[in-house]
Amino acid sequence: MLEELEIRNLGPISHALITPSSHMTAITGETGAGKSMLLSAIKLISGSKAEVARISPNAKEAWVQGIFSIPKTSELVDAVGKSGIELEPSENDENKSDMYVSRTVPQEGRSRATISGFAVPKTVLEQVCSRLIVIHGQSDQLRIATNSKQRELLDTVSKNSELLKQYACAYQAWKDAKDACNRLENQASSSRQRADYLRESLARIRDVNPFPNEDKELRAKRERIENSAQIVKAVSIALASLDSSQIDYGASESSEDACFLVDKASQALRNIRVDDSFNSIANQLDDIHAQLDDIVMQLAQQLDIDVSEKDLDDLNSRIHDLTDLTRRWGPTLDDVLDWSEKAQFELEDLDDSPEAIAKARAKCAQRYDDALKLAEELYKTRLNAAHDFGTLVSEELNSLAMPGAQLIISVNKRCEDLSGSIPLDANGCDDVEFLFRPFPASSDLPMSKSASGGELSRLMLAIELVIAKLTDCDEENMTFIFDEVDSGVGGVAAVELGKRLAQLSKHAQVIVVTHLAQVASFADVQFAVQKNLVENDDNSENSSFAKVANTSVIELNDLMREQEIARMLDGSESKTSLEHARELLNASRKIIDGFTK
C-alpha cells in the first residue's frame, strides 16, 4: 500500500506531499491543472521512462519518492531481502515494513533509482513496483494486456492453483523424458558408426592376441639374432679366457685359463701348514672358482643361437603387428589391452541402444499422457470459470453506463498436430483470450483494439471488482490507480461508478483521478490540484516569461471538500451548489456505511 508520495520539481509541481487513504482517494482539479503529473510521478517510481522535459523550469533535477507499507510475511519482502536490500520496520505497525522507492531525473546524465537507500537498476524498480501498483488508463499497460496475463487472471478466479502445480510437475517430467528420447535418437546414427568401429578394433586386437611387454621382449630377441656373430665371437673369447675346455674339449687340463689358475692358487695355499689364515683365503678362491663355473655355464648357453631365416621373418612380422596395435591404441601394449577392455563395455552399452530408445519412447509417451490428462482438467476449470467470470464482468459494465457491453473469454482447446497429439506448453493444452464487445452489434475484438480509454478503465474496474468477489481475497497490498474512468459517464451511472470504486477500496487501495463529483464523493480522502501563476525567479536572458505556473496539491478538509464538490457540480460555490454537494457527500457516505465488510 502506498503510504506517502512526495514530488519535487516535476512539471508545474515544485513540491507536493500526498498521503493517500488506505481505501479510496480522489484527485480532482480543473483540466490542465497538473493532475497528470501525479500519474507521471507514480509511473516514475514504477520504472517508466524518465523524460527530461518533465523537469520543472529552473530546476536541476526532478525527484519522486513513494513510501510503501508491506506485510513482513509478503513474498515481496523476501525477494527484496535476497537482493541485499534491508527494509525498515514500520512505525505504525510492527507486522509491516516500510519500503522507500525513489527516482531522480537530472537535466543531464542518467536517472537514478533507489529502494530503501540501495541503488537499483530501472528494471528492478519496475519488477518490484509492478507487484504493488496497477495503473489503468488509456496510455498505460493493462494488467491483463497479454494472453499470458489473461490466462493467469482466469486461473486466479478458477482457484486451480493446486492443479496448476501438478500439471507443472507433469509437464516438466514429459519435457525431460522427451529431451532424453531425442538425445538417444539423435545419437543413434553416430552410435552405430561407433559400434562398428569398436567391433573391428576388438577383432583386430583379438587376432593379434598380445600379452604385456611382448613387443619389448621380441625386439630384444631380434637384436640378439641380428648381432649373433658378434655375440658368439665375444662370448668365445670370454670362455677361452675363463675355461678353455668350453671351446676346445681336447685341450689339456693344464692349460692356463682362469678356472685352472684359480684352482691352482687354492691348492698352493692349502699346502701351507703354518696357520689357518691361508686356508681361509683358499676357501675364498674356491668360492670364486664356483662363481666362474656358473659364469662359464651361462656364457656357454649364449653360444646356442640357431635361428633360421624363416624364424627371423616370423619374428619381424609379429613385431610389425604389435607395433600397429600400439600405434592405433597405444602407446604401449598395456594401453592397448586397457583400451580393449573398456571398448568391450562400451560396445555392450551401444548394442543396447535400440532397446534403450524403445524404453525412452515408451516413457515419453506415458509422461505425455499424464501431462495431457492434467491439462484437460485445467481446460475444464478454465472453461467453466470463463463463462461465470465473463457474465459477472458484463453485469458490472452494464452498471457502469456501458449497456450491452460484454467481456467474452475465449478458451479453446488446441487441435491435434500431424503426429496425432495435442500440443502442450507450460500452461496446458488450451489458448485463452479476452475479447470485448462494446455494443451488441459489434464484433468480438481483442480488448486493446475494441475499447476507448474510458471504456478500458471501466472494463478494468469491472474486472477488478469481480476478481475481489470471486476470490474473496484481500488485496490491501495493491494500489489501483484509475485514470479517465469517468469518460462519457454522468448522472446515475456516475453514482454507480463511484459506488463500484468504493467497493473495490474495501479490498485494495484505490486512487482515482476524476472530473465527476459523484465519483469523488465516495472517496475517503480527496486532494485538489490547483494551478497558480507566480513570479518567475529566473532572470536569465533565456527567460521571456514574467510569471510561471506553479501547481499545488492540497488535501481537502470537510469544508474545502464541499466547496470542491460544488465547483465540480456547476462550476461555482453558490448556496445551492454547496447544499447539493453536502447532500451528495452524505448520500455517498450512507452507501459506503451500508457495504458489507
pLDDT in tens, 423-432: 999 999 999 9
pLDDT category at 123 given cuts 50, 70, 90 is confident
pLDDT category at 527 given cuts 50, 70, 90 is very high
DSSP code for 424: -
d(CA 534, CA 532): 6
d(CA 391, CA 385): 10
Q: What is the model's pLDDT at position 137?
A: 63
Digit-coded pLDDT (tens) for 139-164: 554 567 678 888 988 998 888 889 99
Counting beta carbons within 10 angstroms of the beta carbon of residue 539, is it exposed (0 to 12), middle (13 to 18) or buried (19 or more)? exposed
d(CA 327, CA 398): 88
Residues 443, 448, 452, 458, Cα dihedral to 10°:
100
d(CA 235, CA 243): 11
pTM exceeds 0.85 for this model = no
Angle at 99 between CA 96 and CA 102, to 5 degrees: 165
Counting beta carbons within 10 angstroms of the beta carbon of residue 220, is it exposed (0 to 12), middle (13 to 18) or buried (19 or more)? exposed
Let me know: does 509 contact 480? Beta carbons within 8 Å: yes
pLDDT category at 562 given cuts 50, 70, 90 is very high
Q: What is the model's pLDDT at position 71?
A: 86
The three-state secondary structure class of 507 is coil
| Higher-confidence position of 566 and 544 | 566
d(CA 255, CA 261): 9
| Higher-confidence position of 261 and 306 | 261
Residues 6+ apart with CB under 8 A from 401: 458, 488, 489, 490, 493, 494, 496, 497
Mean pLDDT computed over 132-143: 66
Q: What is the model's pLDDT at position 203?
A: 92
CA atoms within 13 A on the CB side of 506: 18
| Higher-confidence position of 472 and 105 | 105
Digit-coded pLDDT (tens) for 399-453: 887 888 899 999 999 999 888 899 999 999 999 999 988 888 888 888 766 666 6
pLDDT category at 254 given cuts 50, 70, 90 is very low
Name, of 163-167, 244-248, 456-460, 537-541, the range with top average pLDDT.
163-167
| Higher-confidence position of 283 and 522 | 522
| Higher-confidence position of 61 and 453 | 61
Residues 6+ apart with CB under 8 A from 293: 243, 259
Residue 117, pLDDT > 60, answer yes
Q: What is the model's pLDDT at position 336?
A: 92
Q: What is the model's pLDDT at position 250?
A: 44
Residue 251, pLDDT > 50, answer no
Digit-coded pLDDT (tens) for 205-247: 999 899 898 888 888 877 777 665 566 667 677 767 666 565 5
% residues pLDDT > 90 (the chain): 30
Q: What is the model's pLDDT at position 233?
A: 64
Let me know: does 381 contact 470? Beta carbons within 8 Å: no
Nearest residue to 98 via CA among 70, 60, 140: 70
Digit-coded pLDDT (tens) for 485-498: 777 677 777 888 88
Residue type, 187: Q
Mean pLDDT computed over 94-118: 89
Q: Please write down the long-range contacts of 234-239, taking CB distance under 8 Å and 24 or more positions apart.
A: 235/299, 235/302, 235/303, 236/303, 238/299, 239/296, 239/299, 239/300, 239/303
pLDDT category at 364 given cuts 50, 70, 90 is very high
Q: What is the model's pLDDT at position 374?
A: 96
d(CA 259, CA 237): 14
Let me know: does 535 contact 34? Beta carbons within 8 Å: no
Residue 544, pLDDT > 70, answer no
Q: What is the model's pLDDT at position 61?
A: 93
Residues 6+ apart with CB under 8 A from 78: none
Largest CA distance in the chain: 164
Let me know: does 26 contact 531? Beta carbons within 8 Å: no
pLDDT category at 253 given cuts 50, 70, 90 is very low
Angle at 16 between CA 27 and CA 97, to 5 degrees: 90
Mean pLDDT computed over 566-578: 87
Q: What is the model's pLDDT at position 21?
A: 92
Let me know: does 198 contact 347? Beta carbons within 8 Å: yes
CA dihedral for 260, 266, 270, 274, sign (positive or negative): positive
Average pLDDT, the chain: 82
